[in-house]
Amino acid sequence: MDFIDLRQPDDWHLHLRDGAALAQTVAASASWAARAIVMPNLKPPVTTTALARSYRDRILAARPEGSNFEPLMTLYLTDNTAAEEIDRAVDSGFVHGVKLYPSGATTNSDHGVSDLAHCEAVLERMAERGLPLLIHGEVTDAEVDIFDRERVFVERTLGPLVERHPELRVVVEHITTHDAASFVRESPARVAATITPQHLLVNRNAMLVGGIRPHYYCLPILKRERDRQALVEAATSGDPSFFLGTDSAPHAVGAKESDCGCAGCFTALNALELYAEAFDAVGALDRLEAFASEFGPRFYGLPLNEGRVRLERATQTVAASMPFGELEVRPFRAGETLAFRRAGS
């Protein structure tokens, strides 16, 4: 097979950042995705429908000429989010989820939830109104090893949460472990997960063997080979609970290559090619379209895209760096060769 045609995909987990960087981040995603769930972890975070409206306007203004890229906005859940905010969000028509960051779990999560007990009324309203809860699934307790934080979250927090709210729709974002994949597979259809390209392609050796590679550092952190294999199995299984979410999370080169480097891989530009490589490696390219273009919209109750994209089996070299506002960002696998490329790119 020299090429594969797909219904146009969407990205169900994306960090676009803000300000001058939007010109580059929006163009990168709009080059292949029709829509994206836009994460709200700005500084300050997008906690209200009013803030989401103005962020959405800035994203729309940054679209390349002629682009119909549609940002699907999210709210950042805090200990103080009011149930009425959920009504405003749903009634807006442009807010499609609420993001739960356990306080301190990742980039700009200081305003996140300290204890879910503060959020029960909001979660009940979300369940009533059908607004999904998008979860960064890691505990933040200092005594829990960073490689165990997702597994412990699944046992301690996610399981009970899903039982306590039997109507709540949940997306476990960027799953990284065998444990999270099993949990989602065994849960009812209202519980889904996104999977990133990096967690399908590499394990923690890529980040730590032969030198420390900050551009492979993201959260949740890369895990073992056994976990990677479980994620590939989930993504290529045809189970509609698993769909594409890049978690593309650009940071300027200086913020990554530093004494205390930021978490996040910038995959937005070549994400589709990266996913194709992961699916092709297990002979499952025929399953890519459903994962990339069908299961996400079905979960979110949105129409499938009408457009098409074509991936060719032809090599391309990833740019060494890209502009990022006034700074630079290093794409994931910068300077390396990819096995696929988008036709026309």
Between the alpha carbon of residue 230 and those of residues 61, 199, 224, 235, 271, the distances in Å are 40, 10, 10, 9, 20
The continuous run of DSSP H or E covering 320 comes out as: none
Instruction: Please tell me whether residue 264 binds ligand NCD under the rule CB under 6 A.
Output: yes
- Smallest distance, Å, CB 109 to ligand NCD? 7
DSSP state at residue 132: P
Q: Which member of 10, 91, 247, 286 is catalytic? A: 247
In sequence order, which residues have a C-beta less than 8 Å from that of residue 11 and are 6 or more positions away? Answer: 29, 33, 35, 36, 37, 244, 245, 246, 248, 268, 271
SS3 content of the chain, % helix, strand, coil (to 5): 40, 20, 45
Between the alpha carbon of residue 38 and those of residues 95, 165, 171, 278, the distances in Å are 10, 25, 14, 24
* 3-state SS class at 123: helix
Instruction: Please tell me whether residue 85 binds ligand NCD under the rule CB under 6 A.
Output: no
- Smallest distance, Å, CB 265 to ligand NCD? 7
Rounded Cα distance, 242 and 235, in Å? 6
- Span interacting with Zn ion, options 59-67, 119-127, 180-188, 239-247, rule CB under 5 A: 239-247
Angle at 107 between CA 59 and CA 150, to 5 degrees: 115
Q: Which of residues 228-247 bind ligand NCD (CB under 6 A)?
A: 247
Instruction: Please tell me whether residue 15 binds ligand NCD under the rule CB under 6 A.
Output: yes
Nearest to ligand NCD of 247, 312 (CB atom): 247
Instruction: Please tell me whether residue 136 binds ligand NCD under the rule CB under 6 A.
Output: yes
Instruction: Please tell me whether residue 247 binds Zn ion under the rule CB under 5 A.
Output: yes
Nearest to ligand NCD of 15, 215 (CB atom): 15
User: Is 91 designated active site?
Assistant: no
Q: Helices 225-235 and 271-281, interaxial angle, to 10°?
A: 100
Q: Which of Zn ion, ligand NCD, none interacts with 263 (beta carbon under 5 to 8 A by kind)? A: ligand NCD
Nearest to Zn ion of 261, 339 (CB atom): 261
- Span interacting with Zn ion, options 85-93, 164-172, 195-203, 242-250, rule CB under 5 A: 242-250
Cis peptide leading into residue 220 (ω within 30°): yes
- Smallest distance, Å, CB 301 to Zn ion? 22
- Smallest distance, Å, CB 83 to ligand NCD? 26
- Name the site residues for Zn ion (rule: CB under 5 A): 247
- The site for ligand NCD (CB under 6 A) is made up of 15, 41, 106-107, 136, 218-219, 247, 249, 263-264
Active-site positions read 247
